């Protein structure tokens, strides 16, 4: 049986290491026959070991479904333009784009939202929300009709989640970007969605205080457990593929049902 992504090609951003949600989705896409180009954070000029590039290259390790690797810092327009150029020269047209990027300065994440610094707020918004617009605009001419753009969001953009702070404000903006993009790119039959994952053990997750959230979700979610990387891969692949044709502007909660709870419920304690 042909894979879900047979004959499809696209761009994957946000793979930092094998725990990254982007990697879970990329693996699934490639296993289903998709061909991917990858971006990574540029290495510092004095980093002779090129750690970011090296980590990604090692993960891909000669996989023929991984076509290219290119640095991209989304705060730099020239990087985004270079990624679009490379994608065009390697693929011509593309069928999917995964945006899996977020950042807030740790000192702003740790402090109260009310005390967020002006510069910290601007940087967090630029990297975590504006970059979806900038990247979508840059690759727009390359998108086949029926192409799918997917970003990663979190419930802390819909409701106040203690400790998520300025990142919650960024996710609210990101969720809104998804809806406006869905409308505007919908004119060319392009879909734009967000996957709202429950807490997961990743570098970014740890920065946002994931440990307490993992316990809370396990106790309170209807399924009394947390989501797995494999499930992130499956839901991400679903939204990037034709299996979700007809779905756009949507925020799909992959959280074992946590978001439907209006009271603590069973509060199962496993430890």
Nearer to ligand NAD, 8 or 229 (CB): 229
Is 104 labelled as part of a ligand binding site? yes
Least spacing, CB of residue 232 vs ligand NAD, in Å: 8
Chain positions contacting ligand NAD, by CB under 6 A: 14-16, 20-22, 41, 72-75, 100-103, 127, 152-154, 197, 199-200, 202-205, 210
Asked if 164 is an active-site residue, the reply is: yes
Report the nearest approach of ligand NAD to the CB of residue 1 (Å).
Answer: 30
- Beta carbon nearer to ligand NAD, 137 or 144: 137
Is position 171 annotated in a ligand binding site?
Answer: yes
Q: Could you say which of 155, 164, 217, 258 is catalytic?
A: 164
**In the complex, minimum distance from the CB of residue 145 to ligand NAD, in angstroms, rounded to a whole number:** 27
Q: Is 21 annotated as a binding residue?
A: yes
Where do the DSSP E strands lie in the chain?
9-12, 35-40, 66-71, 94-99, 143-153, 191-197, 251-254
Residue 20 is labelled as binding a ligand? yes
What's the min distance (Å) between Cβ of 84 and ligand NAD?
Answer: 14
Q: Which is nearer to ligand NAD, 3 or 133 (CB)?
A: 133
Nearest CB to ligand NAD, comparing residues 35 and 135: 135
Q: Is 14 annotated as a binding residue?
A: yes
Positions marked catalytic: 154, 164
Binding residues: 14, 20-21, 73-74, 101, 104, 171
């Amino acid at each position: 049986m042909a894979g879900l992504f047979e004959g499809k090609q696209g761009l994957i951003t946000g793979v930092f290491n094998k725990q990254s949600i982007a990697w879970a989705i990329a693996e699934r896409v490639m296993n289903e026959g998709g061909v991917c180009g990858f971006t990574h954070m540029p290495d510092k000029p004095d980093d002779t070991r090129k750690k970011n590039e090296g980590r990604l290259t090692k993960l891909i390790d000669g996989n023929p479904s991984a076509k290219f690797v290119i640095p991209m810092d989304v705060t730099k327009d020239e990087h985004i333009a270079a990624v679009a150029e490379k994608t065009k020269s390697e693929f011509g047209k593309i069928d999917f784009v995964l945006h899996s990027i977020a950042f807030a300065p740790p000192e702003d994440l740790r402090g109260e939202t009310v005390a967020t610094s002006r510069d910290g707020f601007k940087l967090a918004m630029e990297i975590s929300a504006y970059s979806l617009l900038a990247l979508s605009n840059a690759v727009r001419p390359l998108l086949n009709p029926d192409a799918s753009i997917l970003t990663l969001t979190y419930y802390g953009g819909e409701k106040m989640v203690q400790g998520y702070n300025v990142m919650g404000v960024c996710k609210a903006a990101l969720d809104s970007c998804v809806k406006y993009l869905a409308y505007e790119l919908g004119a060319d039959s392009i879909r734009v969605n967000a996957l709202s994952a429950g807490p997961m053990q990743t570098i970014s997750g740890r920065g946002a205080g994931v440990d307490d959230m993992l316990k809370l979700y396990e106790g309170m979610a209807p399924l009394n457990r947390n989501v797995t990387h494999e499930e992130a891969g499956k839901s991400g692949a679903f939204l990037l593929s034709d299996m979700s044709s007809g779905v756009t502007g949507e925020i799909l909660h992959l959280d074992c049902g946590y978001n439907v709870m209006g009271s603590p419920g069973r509060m199962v304690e496993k430890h």
